[in-house]
Structure 1
């Protein structure tokens, strides 16, 4: 049934009656009657009951209001839509669109309004252009006549000293533009959402997984093309395309996105071009001795930079800086000013910020697992992903390039992969505990820190006879009500009572950990564990969306199975009115990917979380 109602009048009455806490949402915390009678344009009455149905009504009204309508045509089936189906439909039809950006005229205009610019820049946004990209420089230079931007050409060599010199002029970094005759078009990308309004490194891979699930392979391909542009022009896949990230990369997922896009497009020329760039990234970003490659042949995160990371909010490091200010008998502000200007030298503080930048390069910002030690660790996550690079190179070259590509054979790459895995087993594997651990190459000891990242090798490659013991360990240590926690309950119990709640640690859970672990369980045939963990995660997303007006946030407390997370930085994706326009990038992806793995019975169970309304009409 479709009925017509006046949008503004209905919205006003609905919110006045049901939104008792005034947040412009309808949730289980509102104290209204949870029963609302609509009067249609045909003077019929329709009764809508229940938090979920009323929030759906609110969303449907707002969707049509945004289309410029005064009278809404409401499909009653959308009010009663099965919850997992509705979440999936909203992600596919609305949220990806809300998260898609481009670095053309229209996209730059949106970036000027980014909330971070209020804190970090003046009203003119610097747009930094790679030294050799003449098309981009000309394009943005011409835009200066229309928009409040300042086009800045980067030097050939981008050093930490240069990056520090522009930290007081932070801006956006250009991404790929394509020229077709006289028409210049930006290659689009997907952002995480909320305050994260740029193309982020490892977020982009997981978002691409979701995009491919939803048939949006061209947008996933565009993400890979922007990865390629970053490597060729900035020397690395960036933490994000902001100027202060020029010396910082993120976990390596480039070969994974290449393979998953190619599986659908079968574009061999595209594959060849990206394979060449991926090998370049492997050799120049990860395998440079003394930087991200350590003497034992394994890798670490190592983000270069000078001074305090400028993207952090004011006060973030006060606890660390206070003791140094006291030592120099200075106020905190005076110490920071002198430290930043290099008037005061503090090597231990320099080392702390190297660890902090490297922690952020790892994507796990922040976690007690990596705090003040990250640059000294061969991490399981990084070496697993590089092992996957090496095996991916071997498989691509064998399957599509007759075993030879450029200077390497397929066998040479496979040998590199085998050597890395053996080093990982030698230094990181713990048979007693049934998992890999980060290895501190300075102390020459495993950290023994129980975390979700210890299980990434289930996906990227292990000795098959170790899979069972790893899965047993995973389910015993990290399984919680809503899925896999970032770190274990045991690790949390070992922290001091006054320790800050780090957002990547227990009790919180994150989409990328779930998705990589699911891939590993699927690969090794652990169907029961796969179904259980996918269901726990999707149940948590679904019940929170049902109870809280469609909320799909950045992260969850998986112990309490709630989006109400109490940790540093808050929870992006919860601050909206009426309807979320975006969800959150990798959370959307985890839902769509999870549905492809879940059995029909388990999907039906998700859809049975809400009893349907029965249509009531007055005569």
Structure 2
């Protein structure tokens, strides 16, 4: 027992966390915020929202209002005077040409690890009680779905203490805010990301890191967040993340509680909405919902593949989101049964089976031999094939016959020289589209196919992915956020920001796959020594 009456070290750490600023930068700085972002004081809109004020925000805003109309007012100088940039201490990390890919990743974890320190007063950063790993590049905070794929590699690298500390951070966020935000920033609080906390808990149980039941209260609280309002819906109605379909079934969509430009991409969103010809608040909501999906952005969400302004995320019931919620329902049922709460277990089993039936009815396409997203407003499936169709295999929702059909479709339409294609569309310039490939989708596809005995196809995707990662590592001495799934180690493009180095989920998935295929040539890669992985 300590002086505060707290005996548990975890409780002591939680109690020591400083309170977060309840307001976002846009709320805090109002017209100053708009001027900074619209005049592009910083090249990246995210830079300003990550700054820390040197004075109380109200004093800064008052000073701006007093000076902004004076002759010769310099906005950039004012910002520099009143804000400090969020600066990461230099790591002095240099790729070692004597290290292979596994060793390189192991050396990167400390560089990407953040340890709670004195919290910058009234900044946008949400304080966390435990150490965590960030993706890298411009992403200098903990992100929700990135973390699961990072954890796969941390486990292989012997960093199991970080798995537990990050899990407790997510539990803290759920207890504090009712959900896991997109990232630990105030401007992310209005949305989440794909709900993978259940996957984390299952990983901890598999690795005997902790008891899965310890997180049952947070699992149920997260589920309540995603299902808020579902019980009151009539057929054809929606509320936040829930839609009740004509047959009475409830499925989920991505959403954001705000309908303003994303603060970290303010100017970009304003320009996109101006191009839409739609009410701007609708475009902003759909852009924000697309960010909650993690696929920001993709032809998957667009009415017109060539125009981001045609985005309609909130009209779409995604395959992967509903698969992950099925997995969450099954886990809550299993943990409740294990601990004697049979009524709760039966309730969640019913919910899971109802979701499975709805997925089969609305999201399975017999003609395509694939799972497709469903446009609930137009009452028809989306025609575009995406790698999300493998999520029902990953969460073990598909029947054996459905899995076989999905595998055949992947072989014919999504298998690329460098792994699993994200979509078949490459005309809209968005990053979550062909020709780009992403580590989390490789992992979901590989594991999903393995679960249904499609081991040869799964192994082929893994081999191709490791080759493309290894080739760029040999040439450029780094791992990156996304990859072009073609030979010759091109740098991936598309989207609203440059290619990011680091990179958390690429490190995690690659480290795991290297361990599972120790004879793959990528295990022999050396930075700056091209030649081993150059043939795809």
TM-score when normalising by structure 1: 0.64
Q: CA deviation at 1:89?
A: 0.8
Q: CA deviation at 1:535?
A: 0.6
C-alpha distance in structure 1 between counterparts of 2:164 and 2:523, whole Å: 32
Q: Find the partner of 1:213 among 122, 143, 156.
A: 156
- Offset from partner CA, 1:107-127 (integer Å, 9 cap, x none): x5xxxxxxxxxxxxxxxxxxx
Q: CA deviation at 1:266?
A: 5.4
- Offset from partner CA, 1:581-615 (integer Å, 9 cap, x none): xx30000011111123326366678799747xxxx
Determine if the alignment matches structure 1 residue 102 to structure 2 residue 45. no
Distance 1:599-1:267 versus aligned 2 partners, 3 A rule: closer
Tell me if structure 2 keeps the 8 A contact 1:210–1:592: yes
Which residue pairs with 1:508 in the alignment? 436
Which residue pairs with 1:567 in the alignment? 494
C-alpha distance in structure 2 between counterparts of 1:606 and 1:534, whole Å: 16
Which residue pairs with 2:383 in the alignment? 448
Determine if the alignment matches structure 1 residue 293 to structure 2 residue 220. no
C-alpha distance in structure 1 between counterparts of 2:434 and 2:518, whole Å: 28
C-alpha distance in structure 2 between counterparts of 1:600 and 1:89, whole Å: 16
Q: Find the partner of 1:386 among 321, 325, 336.
A: 325
C-alpha distance in structure 2 between counterparts of 1:563 and 1:188, whole Å: 34
Which residue pairs with 2:105 in the alignment? 91
Question: The residue matched to 1:294 in structure 2 has which SS?
Answer: strand
C-alpha distance in structure 1 between counterparts of 2:334 and 2:530, whole Å: 43
Which residue pairs with 2:419 in the alignment? 483
- Offset from partner CA, 1:154-181 (integer Å, 9 cap, x none): xxxxxxxxxxxxxxxx6111223xxxxx
Q: Find the partner of 2:222 among 281, 300, 303.
A: 281
Distance 1:201-1:266 versus aligned 2 partners, 3 A rule: closer
Listed as ranges, the gaps of 5+ residues in structure 2 are 1-90, 231-238, 303-310
Which residue pairs with 2:191 in the alignment? 248
Tell me if structure 2 keeps the 8 A contact 1:103–1:174: yes
How many aligned residue pairs are there?
A: 420
C-alpha distance in structure 2 between counterparts of 1:150 and 1:96, whole Å: 27
Q: CA deviation at 1:519?
A: 1.0
Distance 1:214-1:482 versus aligned 2 partners, 3 A rule: same
Which residue pairs with 1:145 in the alignment? none
Distance 1:468-1:561 versus aligned 2 partners, 3 A rule: farther
| Structure 1 segment 57-136 matched on structure 2, within 5 A | 79=97, 86-92=100-106, 94-105=107-118, 108=119
Distance 1:247-1:80 versus aligned 2 partners, 3 A rule: closer
C-alpha distance in structure 2 between counterparts of 1:397 and 1:514, whole Å: 32
Q: CA RMSD in A?
A: 2.6
Determine if the alignment matches structure 1 residue 418 to structure 2 residue 359. no
C-alpha distance in structure 2 between counterparts of 1:99 and 1:369, whole Å: 31
Distance 1:566-1:418 versus aligned 2 partners, 3 A rule: same
TM-score when normalising by structure 2: 0.73
Question: The residue matched to 2:348 in structure 1 has which SS?
Answer: helix
Q: CA deviation at 1:66?
A: 5.2
| Structure 1 segment 27-426 matched on structure 2, within 5 A | 79=97, 86-92=100-106, 94-105=107-118, 108=119, 149-151=120-122, 171-176=124-129, 187-265=130-208, 267-268=210-211, 271-289=212-230, 290-296=239-245, 297-312=250-265, 314-321=267-274, 348-371=279-302, 372-398=311-337, 400-402=338-340, 404=341, 408-409=344-345, 411-426=346-361
Question: The residue matched to 2:121 in structure 1 has which SS?
Answer: strand
Distance 1:597-1:412 versus aligned 2 partners, 3 A rule: farther
More strand by proportion, 1 or 2? 1
- Offset from partner CA, 1:296-323 (integer Å, 9 cap, x none): 3100111110321111053454253157
Q: CA deviation at 1:287?
A: 4.1
Tell me if structure 1 keeps the 8 A contact 2:364–2:370: yes
Tell me if structure 2 keeps the 8 A contact 1:518–1:534: yes
The structure whose Rg is larger is 1
Q: CA deviation at 1:573?
A: 3.7
C-alpha distance in structure 2 between counterparts of 1:431 and 1:599, whole Å: 38
Listed as ranges, the gaps of 5+ residues in structure 1 are 1-64, 69-73, 109-148, 152-169, 177-186, 325-346, 575-582, 612-619
- Offset from partner CA, 1:385-437 (integer Å, 9 cap, x none): 00111122233334x424x27x602x332222121111100011001211111
Distance 1:451-1:314 versus aligned 2 partners, 3 A rule: same
Q: CA deviation at 1:288?
A: 2.9
Q: CA deviation at 1:205?
A: 1.1
Q: CA deviation at 1:466?
A: 1.6
Which residue pairs with 1:31 in the alignment? none
